[in-house]
Chains A and B, each alone.
Chain A
Amino acid sequence: GIQVEQSPPDLILQEGANSTLRCNFSDSVNNLQWFHQNPWGQLINLFYIPSGTKQNGRLSATTVATERYSLLYISSSQTTDSGVYFCAVGRSNYQLIWGAGTKLIIKP
């Protein structure tokens, strides 16, 4: 099955810093989503991005499907950005395969 690897596993930054999170996947996909899980466990969908680039405020994402990776950029980090960021990918069977996540801590 598809393997999904996220890096780095942990990231600690000061408020105001920028960060790049990476998601590598082992096979072609037609579905890729980024999620943020806050410290209380709520998962929020950030992007649906099987290919191309999207932006939403301070967050943007790029997926290069031919090279099997996706990047999530967070600019001007705020403490509310803390939590775990997950990448999940899917193929024709519609089942999402999840990475292990990147735990982000933003210090004030």
Chain B
Amino acid sequence: KAGVTQTPRYLIKTRGQQVTLSCSPISGHRSVSWYQQTPGQGLQFLFEYFSETQRNKGNFPGRFSGRQFSNSRSEMNVSTLELGDSALYLCASSLERADTQYFGPGTRLTVL
């Protein structure tokens, strides 16, 4: 079975732009969670989607949003990028909520 895939792997944007990141979960997995990882803040929870509905949201501004499609693929968007948004964005999928999480390789976003 293919693992969790994330695209793109690397991204360079400038302040004020917006970005869309994509995550394809393991086949059959229905839950997708997104995390931001920075050297200073560690792993921070962004949001969780299950059955196309956002079930949990972390403490991030409204510039961060996401969605999940009927095939469980998920996208997250960041609008009006700031320098502090530079980070590794990780997606994890699980069969059901609270199950073992499997992570993708991440998207490394650099904001200049």
Name the B residues within 8 Å of A90 (CB-CB): 98
With A43-B90, A101-B42 in contact, do A95 and B103 touch (Cβ < 8 Å)?
A: no
Residues 1-41 (chain A) with a chain B CB within 8 angstroms: 30-31, 33, 35, 41
B contacts with A: majority SS: strand
Name the A residues within 8 Å of B55 (CB-CB): 94
Asked whether, in the complex, the Cβ of A96 is within 8 Å of the Cβ of B45, the reply is: yes
A65 in contact (CB, < 8 A): no
Chain A 70-108: CB-based contact to B (< 8 A → 1; otherwise 0) = 000000000000000010101001111110110000000
Name the A residues within 8 Å of B100 (CB-CB): 33, 45, 48
Chain B 3-42: CB-based contact to A (< 8 A → 1; otherwise 0) = 0000000000000000000000000000001000000001
CA distance A41 to B48 in the complex (A): 21
With A30-B98, A31-B98, A41-B105 in contact, do A95 and B48 touch (Cβ < 8 Å)?
A: yes
A contacts with B: majority SS: strand
Please tell me the size bucket of the interface on B.
20 to 34
Measured between C-beta atoms, what is the minimum distance from A61 to chain B in Å? 13
Chain B 84-112: CB-based contact to A (< 8 A → 1; otherwise 0) = 00001010100001111111011010000
Asked whether, in the complex, the Cβ of B99 is within 8 Å of the Cβ of A48, the reply is: yes
A44 in contact (CB, < 8 A): yes
CA distance A100 to B99 in the complex (A): 21
B43 in contact (CB, < 8 A): yes
Chain B interface residues toward A at CB < 8 A = 33, 42-43, 45, 48, 55-56, 58, 88, 90, 92, 97-103, 105-106, 108
Q: Give 22 A-B contacts (CB < 8 Å), ordered by A residue.
A: A35-B103, A41-B108, A42-B105, A42-B106, A43-B90, A43-B92, A45-B100, A45-B101, A45-B103, A48-B99, A88-B43, A90-B98, A93-B56, A94-B97, A95-B45, A95-B48, A95-B56, A95-B58, A96-B45, A96-B101, A98-B42, A98-B45
